[in-house]
């Protein structure tokens, strides 16, 4: 994203770039990044609440913070790999290789869906329900809110996949749709790493 706003003198190239974006530099990724800061603060509030609960509110007798580690660890790997596959897709788009770009996209969506399936399996095998105790409620609220983000991400990836078809609006010349989805996906992955750390490992 070129910053026309701070440049003092005009060049023909800058003027042309300005025209491409209907008058001014394309600020959509900047706006999305600002929104993700806000979204991250929502998670930060949840994390702070969870850590405080854990520090000061003892659980009733018989309940425990222990969770099965295998499935969520596999899920963590799935998300980390999906960040890589999305990155590969973006690289291919910029190089104009639409075929590999779309395949990597589909793989990313598949990894996201696999994560959600794993999450579902975990939900159905857990020994506690939403209202059993404070930890149970917080667990479902945190993972559920994150799962909602992953679901939205998968939908976005599939939309971008449709838009990268021949004649679609996402091209190597205008990669915004894919770049936005990618930024969002990395954000959701990053949140999961923190969530995994404090919810499962701590």
> Site residues (CB under 8 A) for other proteins?
3-10, 14-16, 18-28, 30-31, 34-35, 37-46, 48-49, 52-53, 56-57, 59-60, 130-131, 133-134, 137-138, 141, 145, 169, 174, 176
Q: How far is CA 71 from CA 151, 193, 195, in A?
A: 18, 14, 14
Distance CA 85, CA 79 (A): 10
Indicate the length of the chain as a whole number: 202
Minimum distance of other proteins from residue 197's CB (angstroms): 19
Instruction: List the beta strands (DSSP E) in the chain.
Output: none
Minimum distance of other proteins from residue 200's CB (angstroms): 20
Distance CA 93, CA 80 (A): 20
Q: What interhelical angle do 134-163 and 98-125 show, nearest 10?
A: 160
Minimum distance of other proteins from residue 126's CB (angstroms): 15
Give 47 or 104: the residue with its C-beta nearer to other proteins: 47
Give 113 or 136: the residue with its C-beta nearer to other proteins: 136
> What counts of helices (H) and strands (E) characterise the chain?
6, 0
Minimum distance of other proteins from residue 160's CB (angstroms): 14
Give 18 or 67: the residue with its C-beta nearer to other proteins: 18
């Amino acid at each position: 994203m070129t910053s026309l706003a701070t440049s003092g003198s005009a060049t023909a190239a800058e003027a042309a770039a300005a025209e491409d974006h209907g008058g001014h530099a394309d600020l959509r990724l900047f706006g999305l990044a600002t929104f993700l800061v806000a979204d991250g603060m929502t998670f930060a509030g949840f994390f702070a609440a969870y850590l405080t609960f854990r520090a000061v509110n003892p659980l009733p007798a018989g309940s425990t913070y222990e969770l099965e580690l295998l499935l969520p660890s596999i899920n963590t790997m799935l998300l980390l790999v999906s960040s890589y596959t999305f990155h590969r897709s973006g690289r291919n788009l910029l190089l104009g290789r639409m075929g590999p770009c779309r395949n990597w996209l589909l793989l990313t969506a598949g990894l996201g869906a696999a994560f959600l399936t794993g999450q579902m399996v975990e939900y159905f095998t857990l020994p506690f329900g939403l209202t059993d105790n404070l930890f149970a409620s917080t667990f479902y609220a945190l993972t559920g809110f994150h799962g909602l983000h992953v679901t939205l991400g998968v939908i976005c990836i599939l939309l971008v996949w449709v838009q990268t078809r021949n004649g679609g609006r996402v091209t190597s010349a205008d990669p915004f749709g894919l770049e936005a989805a990618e930024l969002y996906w990395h954000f959701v992955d990053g949140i999961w790493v923190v969530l995994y750390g404090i919810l499962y490992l701590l």
